[in-house]
Structure 1
Amino acid sequence: MPPQMKLTAITLDCADPEALAAFYRRATGFELHPTSDSDFAGLTREDGLFIGFQRVDDYQPPRWPAQTVPQQIHLDFAVDDLDEAEALLLKLGATKPEHQPGGHRWRIFTDPAGHPFCLTRA
């Protein structure tokens, strides 16, 4: 049996860690980690899950749905109301690509740094 592994952190590359952390903070309500600075910012959820944002020189955002710059990673979030969540995310600076392969089951967005992420019904 393999050792038990508990996911404790996810880190995204970006050009501006503070701005991307601010976007996800407003979107999720996670708390800003006290050691955040201009090169690395983080958010924590009540159960300890940590999302980090690290500055990368010459960062190239993913291209969705094209793979000219691969997705690298994407996050999935469950929400009660897709329309309400979409309105909030667009107001916060997310983009909704034209290509939406999920139909009514999920919606794809990109964050301000270009990372794709999905919303699904809770």
Structure 2
Amino acid sequence: MAENRALRLETVVLDCPEPLALAEFYNDLLGWNGVEGDDRWASVTGPDGAKVSFQRDPEFLAPTWPEGERPQMLHLDIKVEDIDAEHDRVVSVGAKPLGADSPERGFRVYADPAGHPFCLVT
């Protein structure tokens, strides 16, 4: 398969009611390089150039994870060395455990402050 260098993923964008607040959460969670943006659009960028952005949606309703009337459309998997050691830290920055642990498969599920599910994975 030929490589297409003309295409490059710029960012992953999550809708939310407060972009700056959610960007701060992910910046703290990931230990990235700071927040850029305003109350309509904000981004965090990692040391390798990966970017996650947040777009204001005043009518945003959080997913009803794992099922329900508003199922998740996507989630982020965040690689960690020690899932137990990271648990307290991610909760301290504002993550909410969703109680869907699967130690045998190497992941734990949380929600960010806007309600988007994300996983810590080993």
| Match in the other structure for 2:22 | 20
**Seq. identity, %:** 36
In the alignment, structure 1 residue 67 sits paired with structure 2 residue 45: no
Cα deviations by residue, 1:12-35 (Å, 9 ceiling, x for unpaired): 10001011011111111112244x
Deviation at 1:70, TM superposition (A): 1.6
Say whether the 8 Å CA contact 1:17–1:40 is kept in structure 2.
yes
- Matches for 1:1-122 after TM superposition, within 5 Å: 1=1, 3-4=4-5, 5-34=7-36, 36-100=37-101, 102-104=102-104, 105-121=106-122
Deviation at 1:97, TM superposition (A): 1.1
Output the CA distance in 1 between the equivalents of 2:44 and 2:98. 26
Seen in structure 2, the aligned counterparts of structure 1 residues 99 and 57 have a Cα distance that, compared at 3 Å, is same
Deviation at 1:99, TM superposition (A): 3.4
Deviation at 1:57, TM superposition (A): 2.1
Say whether the 8 Å CA contact 2:20–2:35 is kept in structure 1.
no
Output the CA distance in 1 between the equivalents of 2:117 and 2:92. 17
Seen in structure 2, the aligned counterparts of structure 1 residues 76 and 116 have a Cα distance that, compared at 3 Å, is same
Say whether the 8 Å CA contact 2:17–2:59 is kept in structure 1.
yes
* AA of the residue aligned to 2:91: L
Say whether the 8 Å CA contact 1:65–1:99 is kept in structure 2.
no
Q: Secondary structure at the match of 1:85?
A: helix
Deviation at 1:52, TM superposition (A): 0.3
State TM-score, norm by structure 2: 0.88
Say whether the 8 Å CA contact 2:99–2:109 is kept in structure 1.
no
* AA of the residue aligned to 1:29: G
RMSD between aligned alpha carbons?
A: 1.6
Output the CA distance in 2 between the equivalents of 1:26 and 1:78. 15
